[in-house]
Amino acid sequence: MNALFVLIFTCGGALAIGRGLDLALWTDWSTGLCTAGSVWLRYGGLWAALVVGIIAARKLARQPLVLRSACRPVGVTSVLGGVCVGLAGAVREVNGGEDVVLYGSGEVIVSPDRQETERFEQALKKQQSMSDAYNAVLGKSARTLDGRDVRVCTNIGNWKDSSELDVLDTCDGVGLYRTEFIYMESDGYPTEEQQFEYYRTVVQRAHGNEVIIRTLDIGGDKKASYMDLPQESNPFLGYRAIRLCLGHPDIFLVQLRAILRASAYGKAAIMFPMIASVWEVKECRRACQRVMDELTAEGIPFNPDTEIGIMIETPAAVFMAPELARLVDFFSVGTNDLTQYTLACDRQRSDLGKFFDPHHPAVLRALKMAADAAHEAGIWIGICGELGADPDLLPTFLAIGIDELSVAPSAVLPLRAALRKSIANRCTLDLLMS
């Protein structure tokens, strides 16, 4: 008897009993109707049966197999008892004594033949080889073979996720802390104290490495219902990110206070998103100075030398990069939005396909223009968009002179390993010319 059958049988039995009680006890035979009490009994019985059925199913289904999200082989196992395996939305029964091959992609092969077993073993060896290569770079700098150092950082969004915090042991810091998730997961505006605890937790966990905290980037595809933002026909071009913050100083100043207070516990930096004009940066710096003056007057510790940077996400920021670079300590390129705005192509539209091309020469030329302006002003530039983990573009990033790459936690070690095999002086700008 398998678990699915037990669950169905238990729930069906509960419904049958409930219906029988309807007929026996609560039916008004003059009208043919049942009283309301029977309905509640039936629903209560169903829920009780569901709980019992789930418990029984879990005990009966001795399932030793775990499907993982990564696209890699999981294992070969001999099934000791009958189990139910999810396969492409269907459920199939596996008899006891059979070998099962599991791939992380969700592929399940029951009783694999010799050819399939060999395919699996080759995949497993390749995975192990890659794992050994990544482990070999733990604790080592991401220095190219010709001596170019590139910082490899990570992007995080959920400070409660231990897997995101654990990656701080393998990277050079946090290149992008997405604070909007704190707002999106709250029922109301998070207080200064709440935010301070969030930021301090990550800053302390970073082992003295820099944590770049991006100010609120709500708008576009990111919403918080309690903010009551206006309905917009094109929200990506509307009231979002730094525009919202400058329009609501009460929200903005609270966040800046929390970030600067956290800077007393490690190396924090502040980054402003969606910058398009010099006056926006000046307003942001004035807000920072105001908060610093307040904290000083209140005797609250903070780091007065906290770095301030901006994201390069708009063509306007690229064209104004020489002027903007003189006002900040660093640039960080958000390649998702930069691609969207440069190509006038909505990144949320899956049907646009090849038209949304992060490899487009115009996007890469914009990246080089920003990098040149940053280096001429004596500041560093990084990439914190998804493109930073693209192995095909790594030589181009090195040729452009990118100083930092901030990527998803899973991409940190592969990127570090790739950098240690690269020769920066041999990299070219050929992709900018195609």
Q: How far apart are CA 29 and CA 47, in angstroms?
A: 28
**Cβ pair 351, 335 in contact under 8 A:** no
CATH 3.20.20.60 fits 142-432, yes or no: yes
Residue 18 has pLDDT above 80, yes or no: no
DSSP per-residue codes, 27-70: EETTTTEE-HHHHHHHHHHHHHHHHHHHHHHHHH--------SS
User: pLDDT exceeding 70 applies to what percent of the chain?
Assistant: 70
Environment class of 378 (CB within 10 Å of its CB; exposed 0-12, middle 13-18, buried 19+):
exposed
Q: How far apart are CA 47 and CA 54, in angstroms?
A: 11
Q: How far apart are CA 315 and CA 339, in angstroms?
A: 9
Residue 416 has pLDDT above 60, yes or no: yes
Terminal alpha carbon distance of the chain: 63
In the chain, where are the structural domains located? 3-60, 73-132, 142-432
Residue 59 has pLDDT above 70, yes or no: no
| Best CA proximity match to 23, nearest among 37, 34, 14 | 34
What is the per-residue pLDDT across 283-340, written as a single tens digit (0 to 9) for each?
999 999 999 999 999 999 999 999 999 999 999 999 999 999 999 999 999 999 999 9
Confidence of residue 64 (pLDDT cuts 50, 70, 90): very low
Structure-token match 């500041």, residue found: 379
Residue 228 has pLDDT above 60, yes or no: yes
Q: How far apart are CA 356 and CA 339, in angstroms?
A: 7
For 115, the token pair is 């050819």
- Mean pLDDT along residues 137-152: 85
pLDDT on residue 71: 39
Burial letters for 264-303: b for 16+ Cβ neighbours within 10 Å, e otherwise?
A: ebbbbbbbbbbbbeeebbebbeebbeebbeebeeeeeebb
For the chain, give the mean pLDDT.
81
Say whether pTM exceeds 0.75.
Answer: no
Of residues 240 and 378, the one with the higher pLDDT is: 378
**Cβ pair 161, 205 in contact under 8 A:** no
Q: In what order do the strands lie in the sheet with 108-110?
A: 73-78, 99-103, 108-110
Amino acid at 168: L
What is the per-residue pLDDT across 344-387, written as a single tens digit (0 to 9) for each?
988 777 778 789 899 999 999 999 999 999 999 999 999 998 89
Residue 125 has pLDDT above 50, yes or no: yes
Residue 195 has pLDDT above 70, yes or no: yes
Q: How far apart are CA 394 and CA 414, in angstroms?
A: 12
pLDDT on residue 50: 61
Residue 141 has pLDDT above 50, yes or no: yes
Helices (H) then strands (E): counts for the chain:
15, 15
